[in-house]
């Protein structure tokens, strides 16, 4: 009995608590993950097809529609709260139709007027940053007139 109590005390002393901060290239992390240096994320190119092309992998995604209004679909923001995608239409001719499996797209700062489809084309919504808030996608656009 005394051995098991001693083991429990040692275990509690040396097991880290549930709150931890991880630092990469820093000895004093100030956030849950603190990176002092460069960060690389998975990038990929998705070519459009005759059916809906699902976006379910990567962070920086180049969409390449092979015909006008080919559909690229984000996953449900409900399933992936906090998920971030950088999306860019790399085709200079064809429009990419962006949809979501659930929820709507709301442009930054708006609480009404959400839409379920966006069209990405040359000089308008060419590059988008979308972030799941757990219900919808918040859209940050890079508009070039």
* CB contact at 8 A, 118 and 68: no
> From CA 95, how far away is CA 36, in angstroms rounded?
38
CA neighbor of 86 nearest in space, from 48, 10, 33, 141: 141
Q: Please state which architecture CATH assigns to domain 43-142.
A: Sandwich (2.60)
Per-residue model confidence as pLDDT tens for the chain (145 residues):
555 555 555 555 555 555 688 999 999 998 988 899 998 889 999 999 999 999 999 999 999 999 999 999 999 999 999 999 999 999 999 999 999 999 999 999 888 889 999 999 877 788 999 999 999 999 998 644 3
For the chain, the structural domain boundaries read: 2-35, 43-142
DSSP H helix total and E strand total for the chain: 1, 12
> From CA 125, how far away is CA 113, in angstroms rounded?
17
Q: Which residues contact 25 (CB under 8 A, 6 or more apart)?
A: 35, 36, 37
Which pLDDT value is given to residue 124? 79
Taking the alpha carbons at both ends of the chain, their separation in whole angstroms is 76
Which pLDDT value is given to residue 109? 87
Which pLDDT value is given to residue 128? 94
On whether the pTM is more than 0.95, the answer is no
> From CA 96, how far away is CA 75, in angstroms rounded?
16
């Amino acid at each position: 009995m005394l051995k098991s109590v001693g083991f429990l005390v040692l275990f509690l002393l040396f097991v880290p608590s549930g709150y931890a901060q991880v630092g990469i290239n820093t000895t004093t992390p100030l956030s849950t993950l603190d990176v002092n240096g460069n960060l690389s994320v998975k990038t990929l190119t998705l070519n459009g097809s005759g059916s809906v092309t699902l976006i379910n992998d990567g962070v920086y995604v180049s969409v390449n529609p092979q015909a006008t209004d080919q559909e690229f679909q984000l996953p449900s923001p409900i399933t992936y709260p906090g998920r971030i995608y950088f999306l860019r239409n790399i085709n200079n001719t064809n429009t990419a139709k962006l949809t979501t499996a659930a929820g709507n797209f709301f442009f930054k700062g708006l609480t009404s007027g959400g839409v379920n489809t966006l069209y990405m084309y040359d000089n308008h919504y060419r590059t988008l940053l979308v972030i799941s808030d757990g219900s919808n996608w918040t859209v940050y656009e890079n508009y070039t007139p």
